[in-house]
Amino acid sequence: MSTPYPFTAIVGMDDLRLGLLLNAVHPAIGGVLVRGEKGTAKSTAVRALAALLPEVETVAGCRFSCDPAAPDPHCPDGPHEAGHGASRPTRLVELPVGASEDRLVGALDMERALAEGVKAFEPGLLARAHRGVLYVDEVNLLQDFLIDSLLDAAAMGVTHVEREGVSVRHASRFLLVGTMNPEEGELRPQLLDRFGLTVEVTASRETDERVEVVRRRLAYEEDPAAFAARWAGEEAALRERIAAARALLPTVSLGDAALRQIAATCAAFEVDGMRADIVMARTATALAAWAGRTEVLAEDVRQAALLALPHRRRRAPFDAPGLDEEKLDETLRQNGGDGGDGDPDPDGPDGGPGNGPGGGGRPPQDGPEEPSGASGASEPSVPEQSRGGEGPAQGGGAGEQTPARAGEPFRTRALYVPGVGEGAAGRRSRAHTAQGRTTGARRPRGALSRLHLAATVRAAAPHQRARGRSGPGLVVRRDDLREAVTEGRESNLVLFVVDASGSMAARQRMSAVKGAVLSLLLDAYQRRDKVGLITFRGSGAEVALPPTSSVDAAAARLESLPTGGRTPLAAGLLRARDVLRVERLRDPSRRPLLVAVTDGRATGGPEPVARARQAARLLAADGTASVVLDCESGPVRLGLAGALARELGGPAVTLEELRADAVTSLVHSVRNSNRNLGRAA
C-alpha cells in the first residue's frame, strides 16, 4: 500500500520501537536487527520508521546523494561545488534476498558500453541507500556473496567496484535494518556484529492487546489514508521529539563513570573486539537525549547493554542469544551503578506510559547462560545391563535411556558431494554459481545473467564487414552475446540418519557420537547448508527434523535424542530416501549428502540385514552421495559400517578420522569412492 502504516499505531513491541527510534536519533549506532517469529509486524515497523526521519539535503542531480555542505571529492558524478542543494525524503531502500551482486554494488552500463563505446557506471542499491535506510527482510537468507559486499560497505562506509573495466569508489553510509525469523537459520557472526542493536519480538499473549492489533489492522486495510489521518497528530509529535533529541545529542555528557560501566559490562560478557563498547556508548547517549537529559545515567547504560550485547555474546553458533540480567546488574553495581531499571518514562514513543528508555525492557532469561553443546566430560560408569542392550524388552519404554549429553564439538574434515552442481551459493561442493572463478563462456540459456565481454567481442568480430561496419566501434547482435560460466561453491542438504538404538546407547559412546554430529552440524552452519535429522530405533524411524536452514534447531533435537531398543537400519534408510525424494521436487538444484551415523548393526524387523542392504542399494541407485560415520568401538570390530558404506557407494569414516587433523585424507576418500556415481543427486 502507498500509505505506510503509522509508527505510533503499532501496539506493544516496546523494544522494537525503542531500538528503531534510537537509531533515528543517532544513526551512528549502526542499525538494528529484528529477530522474531513470523507475523509480528517486523517489516511494518521498519517501513513506518522511514516516514518519521527528517528530509535529506542532496546535490541536485547527483545519483550518489552527496551532501551539498560537504560533497564527496571521489563521487563518480563529481566534482561538486559546495552550496545549496535540494531536499528529498529519507529513502528506504529494500535489498531483496535474491538480488544479484550487480544490483547491489552496481556495474558497467552494458547498453551504453555496447551502443556508444562509453565506460559508464550504473549505481547499485548501496549507492541509492547512502544517507538513508537499507532494509533487508529475511537477512539470514542472504547469499554469501551479497553478505560479503554488505559487510565491506557497512564497515568502511565506502563501496569499491572493480569489475568489467570499471573502477569506481563512492560513499555508502546507511542505517542497516534487518529482520529475520530464527527458525529459518542464523546469521554469520561477522554480519551480526555489524548491526548496532538487536531486539527480539514475539506476538502478544494478552487477549485485549491482540484484539486491538487486529482492530487497527483491519481499519488500516479498509481505508489507509483515513487511518493515517487519525494518527497524524501523534506522528507529528513523535517526529518533533526525534528532531529535538537529535539537536540535544551533541550536548549529552558521557562521563568517566558511565564509560567505566560500559567497558566493565563488555568485558564481563566477553564480547569480541571494541565495537560493542562504542555501540553501547552511542546508544546510552541516544537514550539520554531521547529522555531529554544531558547526562548519561546508569539506567541508560543498562538499557544500552540489553540492546547492544545479546547478539555479540554468543561464543558459538549454538549458544542461545540473550543476556543474563542478574550478571548485568551485579556488574553495574560493582562499577558504581545501582543496576536498576530506573523510573519508567511517562512519555513513551507513542505518548503512552512505559515505552521510554526505562520501560519496555527485555524479559529476564531463565537463569544464567549455559553453553549449548555441552561439555565433553565422561558420564559416570553404567553397568552393561542398564545400557540399553538389544534384548526384546528394549523395544519399549523400559529400555529407553536418559538422553546422553553431546561431547565437545571439534573441527571436522570437509565432506563434499562429487561432481559439479548448480545449487544455491554456499561453501561446500563445487558448482556453477553466479559468483566465483570464471571458467569459460557459453550462449545464454534464457535471460543473459552475466556478460562475458571478451567472448562476446570475439564472437562478433568476424562479422563486422558483413554487417557493414568499417569505422570504429562494434556491431553486436543477440547471437553474439556470451554469458560467463563461473564456478564457485554451493550449499547442500546434509541429511543425518542417526542410529539411536540400544547398540548405540552406551552413554560415553553416545556422548562421543552426539559430539561428532554436533561438529558436523557446526560445519554445515559455516557452509550455509540445509540440514535434516532422521533417527531410528525400536520398531521404526522418524523424521526428528525436516530439512531446514536452522542448524540451531537440529542441534537442539540432537541434544534431547533418546536411545534404546532394536536397530531398524532399513527403516532409517528408507525414510531418508522418502525425505530426499520430496526435497528433490521442492528444490531440484540442491544436491543432498546423506550422513549415516551407525555402527552398521541391523536387528529390527524381518530379515533386517538383507533389507538394510537393499535400502542402501536403492539410495545408491538414486545417485545419493553418502558417508557412513562408523561408531563401532572396542578392540574387536565387525566392520558392519564398512559393508553398509560399500552398498551406499560411499566411504566409511571412523570418529577418529572425522577430525580435521586426522592423518587419513577424508576429502580424497569421499571423492574417489563416489566416482562410480553416474550422476550427482
3-state secondary structure string, 539-606?
CEEEEEEEEECCHHHHHHHHHCCCECCCCCHHHHHHHHHHHHHHHHHHCCCCCEEEEEEECCCCCCCC
pLDDT given at position 218:
92
* Structural contact between residues 417 and 592, judged by C-beta atoms closer than 8 angstroms: yes
Residue stretches of the chain with pLDDT short of 50: 1, 340-399, 663-671, 673, 675-681
Distance from C-alpha of 575 to C-alpha of 347, rounded to nearest angstrom: 58
Distance from C-alpha of 356 to C-alpha of 352, rounded to nearest angstrom: 9
| Helix %, strand %, coil % of the chain (to 5) | 40, 20, 40
Whether residue 547 has a cis bond before it, omega within 30° of 0? no
- Cα 72 to Cα 56, 108, 165, 253, distances in angstroms: 15, 21, 23, 31
Phi and psi torsions of 397, nearest 5°: -70, -25
DSSP letter for 183, please.
G
Distance from C-alpha of 552 to C-alpha of 558, rounded to nearest angstrom: 10
Q: How many Cβ atoms from other residues are within 10 Å of residue 178's Cβ? A: 27
Residue 163's DSSP bridge partners are: 166
Nearest to 105 by CA among 140, 180, 156: 156
Element (H, E) at 666: helix 666-673
Distance from C-alpha of 411 to C-alpha of 428, rounded to nearest angstrom: 15
SS (H, E, C) 340-394: CCCCCCCCCCCCCCCCCCCCCCCCCCCCCCCCCCCCCCCCCCCCHHHCCCCCHHH
Which amino acid, one-letter code, is at 458? R
Distance from C-alpha of 301 to C-alpha of 337, rounded to nearest angstrom: 9
Strands 106-108 and 121-123: antiparallel
Three-state DSSP state, 442: strand
Angle formed by the axes of helices 608-621 and 569-586, to 10°? Answer: 20
Nearest to 300 by CA among 317, 283, 314, 315: 283
Nearest to 379 by CA among 515, 475, 262, 260: 515
pLDDT given at position 508:
67
Nearest to 83 by CA among 65, 62, 68: 68
Residue 530's DSSP bridge partners are: 493
Q: How many Cβ atoms from other residues are within 10 Å of residue 224's Cβ? A: 16
**pLDDT tens-digit readout, 492-542:** 999 999 998 877 666 667 788 888 888 888 888 778 888 999 999 888 899
pLDDT given at position 435:
67
Please pick, among 275, 333, 557, 637, the residue that the annotation labels catalytic: 275
Which amino acid, one-letter code, is at 429? S
pTM above 0.85, yes or no: no
Residue ranges of domains in the chain, CATH in brackets: 31-195 (3.40.50.300), 396-417+492-673 (3.40.50.410), 430-490 (no CATH)
Which amino acid, one-letter code, is at 295? E
DSSP letter for 84, please.
-
Three-state DSSP state, 428: strand
pLDDT given at position 583:
93
Which amino acid, one-letter code, is at 352? G
Nearest to 676 by CA among 621, 615, 600: 621
Starting at the edge strand found earlier in the chain, the sheet holding 175-180 runs 92-94, 133-137, 175-180, 32-36, 197-201
Planar angle of CA 184, 189, 193, nearest 5 degrees: 115
- CA 548 to mean position of chain CA atoms: 13
91 has catalytic annotation: no
Q: Is 401 exposed, middle or buried (0-12, 13-18, 19+ CB in 10 A)?
A: buried
The number of CA neighbours under 13 Å toward the Cβ of 310 is 24
